[in-house]
Amino acid sequence: MGTVRLTAAQALVRFLANQYVERDGVEQRFFAGCFGIFGHGNVAGVGQALQQHADELTYYQACNEQAMVHTASAYARTKNRLGTFACTTSIGPGATNMVTGAALATINRLPVLLLPGDVFASRVPDPVLQQLEASHDGTLSVNDCFRPVSRYWDRIYRPEQVIPAALSAMRVLTNQAETGAVTLAFPQDVQAEAYDFPEEFLARRVWRIGRPLPGTEALGRAAALVREARRPMIVAGGGAIYSEATEALRRLVEQTGIPVGETQAGKGSMPYDHPSALGAVGATGTFAANRAAREADLVVGVGTRWTDFTTASKTAFQSPGVRFVNINVADFDAHKHAGLALVGDARATLEALTGELAGYEVEPEYGEQAARVSREWDREVERLYTLGHGPPPSQGEVIGTVNTFSEPRDVVVCAAGSMPGDLHKLWRTRDPKGYHVEYGYSCMGYEIAGGLGVKMAAPEREVYVMVGDGSYLMMNAEIITSIQEGYKLTIVLVDNSGFSSIGALSRSVGSDGFGTHYRYRKNGSLGLDSEEAPGEVLPVDLATNAESLGARVIRARTVAELKDALAEAKDVDRTVVIHVPVDRYEGVPTYETFWDVPVAEVSEMDSVVAARKGYAEDRRAERPYL
């Protein structure tokens, strides 16, 4: 094969357009396109290349660099990590705007390729506009901020260096145990420099994603632990969904009767009405799952990172001799909680374990108890769906109304505030991809940008973005991108005039909702929950704000109006925002659980002293799982 003379940016764009992944014999293109916002740091390099090669790799124009990384992450999650976007930015603020997006992708183990522009490799015109200079280190730029939040980080100092950098990027992006944000910092002069690239580098390349299995000895020991257990339980995490292991999980559960709790990323692993499905587990868990967890003597984690929300800050599992078996493609996670590590693909490992467990079933009474408590839980969901509160309605009723209206294959999207916890408890999942709550980084502002990524990955599904007023204020501009590209979202803007989740948390630590209201300052105060005459509520009108961005807006005041609005929205072909005020103080309860948020050890406030006392008691339930 010969060579082609291309700029470094042209070569990279052509390379990206030709990357494919294959799993289970199905090949698909890895990059659905490149998002970007141009500035002097990329307009003439990557920008020019994207224009010249537009028929190979589509360029999408975002409104905010952080948002476009969220869109790429959400796309990757919906595609079970078998596809994503590249994201190009200028230097300086455009680049660092992506740092939060990178952290989100890496925490959630989602592949995204970030191409921040960088200062001149030649250093001739230094300091260039937006360059941060370091007096002690000539190699530093703001792009070094990406190092701790990237799974692979490189800087391309010479055009031919595109070759090893791009190959390393693909290795990490397609490695199921290693994947996350990959950052290739791209100096603006190098982007435009030419080199004779080998045609072989630019040819179609397929990255094979296998289904590795743990060793037979480890599998045998895991099966023996399950057989010895009296109250085994499974906790399904995001890995169960990414590896498309939900059918395999159901078969194991139906063969053995082991009940299943779900993490935020793992919700949807089981249909909500399966008799062995206990629903959400942990700090935002159901009483069904949390009771099972408390007494479990063996816990099989499937594709979970064991965050504090799942373990209720290590108080969820109280049986003195509780042991863990961790099925995880990442060795790092498989060893958590001193677990027996089954390092492997979730689907292949569950299938192998099902074989090892032939003939084993939990005691009938244990299985029946799970089914009974699970039915009891569903009655609690029904109660909260139909509370008859207000107007304004409760958030639980809004969730219930959207869930009841939506089709099984539709997708709900959320990330931060009080809704993720309420959705974790209350959303009735009927499809493994129907629940998309980003709770690894729980990043306010992810919702709309993420919803766009979901819709781009699954245009055949209706996407319901549930977003709080606080999250909406942080990042709403991708409404514009959704309209520009014709990807319709139904955004349910749940407005409680402030940060209700943190308000409730603030009350629980003795701080009376300090700093969580949208009010004028009055007598030095921005408003407290118990204040008798706080400042007026600020005249914020988010519905009109959404209208100004081009969305069709429907204002709903009651549950009945919300139902009508959802029906009306279904027939609209562009992004719709349904604005619905809810009662900030009518929250969904927590169920027999704990979350460790340290309370001030000394204070002149009586409410804080009282909260600290309760906190010290609750914390005693924390266990090390050794």
Gap between the Cα atoms of 371 and 346, Å rounded: 25
CB closer to ligand TPP out of 459 and 515: 515
Residue nearest to Mg ion (CB): 468
**Distance of closest approach, residue 416 Cβ to Mg ion, in angstroms:** 10
**Distance of closest approach, residue 151 Cβ to ligand TPP, in angstroms:** 22
Pick one of 311, 418, 575, 590: the residue that binds ligand TPP (CB under 6 A). Answer: 418
**Distance of closest approach, residue 501 Cβ to Mg ion, in angstroms:** 7
**Distance of closest approach, residue 425 Cβ to Mg ion, in angstroms:** 18
**Distance of closest approach, residue 485 Cβ to ligand TPP, in angstroms:** 25
CB 13 within 8 A of CB 57: yes
Measuring CA to CA, how many Å separate 11 from each of 2, 19, 112, 142, 174?
A: 14, 13, 19, 25, 20
Site residues for ligand TPP, 438-477, by CB under 6 A, read 442-445, 468-471
φ and ψ of 219, to 5 deg: -60, -45
Residue 50's binding partner among ligand TPP, Mg ion, none (Cβ under 5 to 8 angstroms by kind) is none
Residue 443's binding partner among ligand TPP, Mg ion, none (Cβ under 5 to 8 angstroms by kind) is ligand TPP
- Determine, following the binding rule CB under 5 A, whether residue 593 of this chain makes contact with Mg ion: no
CB closer to ligand TPP out of 73 and 496: 496
CB closer to Mg ion out of 213 and 540: 540
Gap between the Cα atoms of 34 and 85, Å rounded: 5
Site residues for Mg ion, 434-493, by CB under 5 A, read 468-470
**Distance of closest approach, residue 239 Cβ to ligand TPP, in angstroms:** 23
CB closer to ligand TPP out of 173 and 419: 419
Residue 575: closest CA among 476, 483, 503, 500: 483
Site residues for Mg ion, 146-185, by CB under 5 A, read none
Listing DSSP states for 195-220 in one string gives: EEEEHHHHS-EEEE-------HHHHH
**Distance of closest approach, residue 518 Cβ to Mg ion, in angstroms:** 9
**Distance of closest approach, residue 1 Cβ to ligand TPP, in angstroms:** 48
**Distance of closest approach, residue 417 Cβ to Mg ion, in angstroms:** 6
CB 184 within 8 A of CB 337: no
What residue has token string 């078996």?
Answer: 325
CB 403 within 8 A of CB 428: yes
**Distance of closest approach, residue 453 Cβ to Mg ion, in angstroms:** 23
Grouping H, G, I as helix, E, B as strand and the rest as coil, residue 113 is strand
Site residues for ligand TPP, 501-540, by CB under 6 A, read 501-502
CB closer to ligand TPP out of 371 and 473: 473
CB 31 within 8 A of CB 182: no
Q: How far apart are the first and last CA of the chain?
A: 57
Residue 418's binding partner among Mg ion, ligand TPP, none (Cβ under 5 to 8 angstroms by kind) is ligand TPP
- Determine, following the binding rule CB under 6 A, whether residue 499 of this chain makes contact with ligand TPP: yes
Q: Give the range of 425-433, 500-508, 521-529, 589-597 binding ligand TPP by CB under 6 A.
A: 500-508
CB closer to Mg ion out of 118 and 469: 469
**Binding-site size, ligand TPP (CB under 6 A):** 17
**Binding-site size, Mg ion (CB under 5 A):** 5
CB closer to Mg ion out of 301 and 534: 534
**Distance of closest approach, residue 542 Cβ to Mg ion, in angstroms:** 10
- Determine, following the binding rule CB under 6 A, whether residue 417 of this chain makes contact with ligand TPP: yes
Order of strands across the sheet with 260-262? 277-280, 260-262, 232-236, 298-302, 323-328, 340-343
Residue 608's binding partner among Mg ion, ligand TPP, none (Cβ under 5 to 8 angstroms by kind) is none
Grouping H, G, I as helix, E, B as strand and the rest as coil, residue 521 is coil
Gap between the Cα atoms of 387 and 400, Å rounded: 10
Gap between the Cα atoms of 314 and 375, Å rounded: 27
Listing DSSP states for 8-36 in one string gives: HHHHHHHHHHTEEEEETTEEEESEEEEEE
Q: Give the range of 269-277, 330-338, 416-424, 540-548 binding ligand TPP by CB under 6 A.
A: 416-424
Residue 304's H or E segment, with its range, is none
CB closer to ligand TPP out of 374 and 418: 418
Q: Give the range of 173-181, 219-227, 429-437, 496-504 binding ligand TPP by CB under 6 A.
A: 496-504
Gap between the Cα atoms of 404 and 400, Å rounded: 6
Which amino acid, 350?
A: L
Q: Is the link from the previous residue into 392 a cis peptide, with omega within 30 of 0?
A: yes
- Give every CB contact of residue 410 below 8 A, 6+ residues apart in sequence: 434, 461, 462, 463, 464
Pick one of 349, 496, 506, 575: the residue that binds Mg ion (CB under 5 A). Answer: 496
φ and ψ of 554, to 5 deg: -125, 130
CB closer to ligand TPP out of 416 and 556: 416
Q: Is the link from the previous residue into 534 a cis peptide, with omega within 30 of 0?
A: no
**Distance of closest approach, residue 562 Cβ to Mg ion, in angstroms:** 17
Contact positions vs ligand TPP (CB under 6 A): 416-419, 442-445, 468-471, 496, 499-502
Contact positions vs Mg ion (CB under 5 A): 468-470, 496, 500
